[in-house]
A and B are shown apart, each in its own frame.
Chain A
Amino acid sequence: MTLPSPVLVGPWSAVAMIAAVVLCSTAGEVLTAAAMKSIGDLDLIRARSGLKGAIRAVISCPLFFAGVSFLALAFFSLLFALNHLNLSLVAPASASLTLVTNAIAGKIFLKENVDRRRWGSAVLVGIGVYLLAH
C-alpha cells in the first residue's frame, strides 16, 4: 500500500509554513531558556530542596509555561507543514534554520555573548543538520 503524498503548495506558502515552525520553535526555546535562567541552577536547587523542590521551582514559573506553549505550537505547525509539504524539505529546513534563528534571538532577547565562535558553530551545525536530514 502506498501512502498518499502531501498536497504540494506554492513556494510562498511553503516558506510561510516553514517560517511558522521556525518562529514558534525559536520563541519556545528562548522563553524556556529565559525561564530556566530566572529559576537558577537546577542542580543546586535539587541539592538544597530535593527533586520535588526542583520540580516545584520549574512549574511555578509562568515563563516556563509560555515557552512550552510555543513549543507545542511549533509541534502542531510542523504537523500542519508535513501535511502539505514533503518531509525531506520540512525537517532539514526547519531544524537547520532554527539553530541560526536561536543564535540571533539568544543575542537579542537573552543578551547572550554570541561571539564569532558561536556564530560559526551555529552555521556549521545548521548546514550539517541540513545535509544529514536531507
Chain B
Amino acid sequence: MAHAKLSPRQYLILGLVAICAPLGDTCLSKGMTAIPAIDLAHPGTLVAAVFTPWIAFGIALLIGFFASYLTALSWADLTFVLPATAFGNVIVALLAHFWLHETISWQRWLGVVLITVGVGFVAQGPSLTERPEPKPEPAPEAEEVHSL
C-alpha cells in the first residue's frame, strides 16, 4: 500500500527538509563572512572556523537536513520530495523581506508565487508511486506418494 496520505510526523519531516537547508546555508554564510579571509596557506584557520558558533550551528542544521531528507526519501518519491521541499526558498525570501527588511523585486515575488503554486500542485497528489503487490509464490505441489 502506498502512503497516499502523509501523517503529521511525515509532514514535519518534509518541513524540516525545507527549513534546515536554507537556514543552514544562511548560518554558514553569516559565519564565513564574520571571520577574516581564510588563506589556503593556513588551512588550520578553516578547521578553527568550524567551531565558531554560526558555522557550528549551520553544520548542525545541514546534518539535520540530510537526516530528514534521507528519511523522506525512504517513504516518498524523489519527484515528490524535491518540489515539495522547495518551499524553504519561499520562507527564506519572506524572512528576508519581513525580518531583515530586504527589498524583494517583482521577479522574486513572481518566483515565490510560482513555487507556492508548484508545491500546492504536488502536495495534492500521492507521495509514493503505487506498485503492484508481488504475486505470492505458488505453493509447492504435494509430493506424490508412490506406493510400491
Residues of A within 8 A of B (CB): 29-30, 32-33, 36-37, 39-43, 58, 99, 102-103, 106-107, 110-115, 117-118, 120-125, 127-134
Nearest CB of B to A80, in Å: 16
Q: What is the interface of chain A mostly: helix, strand, loop, or mixed?
A: helix
Q: Tell me whether B118 and A106 are in contact (CB under 8 A).
A: no
Most chain A C-beta atoms within 10 Å of own C-beta, residue among B70, B81, B112, B125: B70
In the complex formed, the residue of B with least CB distance to A109 is: B78
Interface residues of B in 97-148 (CB under 8 A from A): 107-108, 110-119, 121-122, 124-126, 129-130
What are 24 pairs between A and B in contact, CB < 8 Å?
Answer: A33-B73, A33-B77, A43-B9, A43-B10, A106-B77, A110-B77, A110-B78, A111-B129, A114-B79, A117-B121, A117-B122, A118-B122, A121-B119, A122-B83, A125-B83, A125-B118, A125-B119, A128-B113, A129-B89, A131-B107, A131-B108, A132-B89, A132-B93, A132-B111
Query: Chain A contacts of B111 at CB under 8 A?
Result: 127-133
- Number of residues in B with C-beta < 8 Å to the partner? 37
Q: Is B52 in contact with chain A by the CB < 8 A criterion?
A: no
Q: Is B32 in contact with chain A by the CB < 8 A criterion?
A: no
Query: Chain A contacts of B121 at CB under 8 A?
Result: 117, 120-121, 124
Query: Chain B contacts of A117 at CB under 8 A?
Result: 121-122, 124-125
Residues of B within 8 A of A (CB): 9-10, 70-71, 73-75, 77-83, 86, 89-90, 93, 107-108, 110-119, 121-122, 124-126, 129-130
In the complex formed, the residue of B with least CB distance to A29 is: B78
- Beyond A115-B125, A132-B93, A132-B112, 13 additional pairs, beta carbon < 8 A: A36-B73, A39-B74, A42-B74, A99-B83, A112-B79, A118-B80, A121-B121, A125-B86, A127-B114, A129-B111, A132-B89, A132-B108, A133-B111
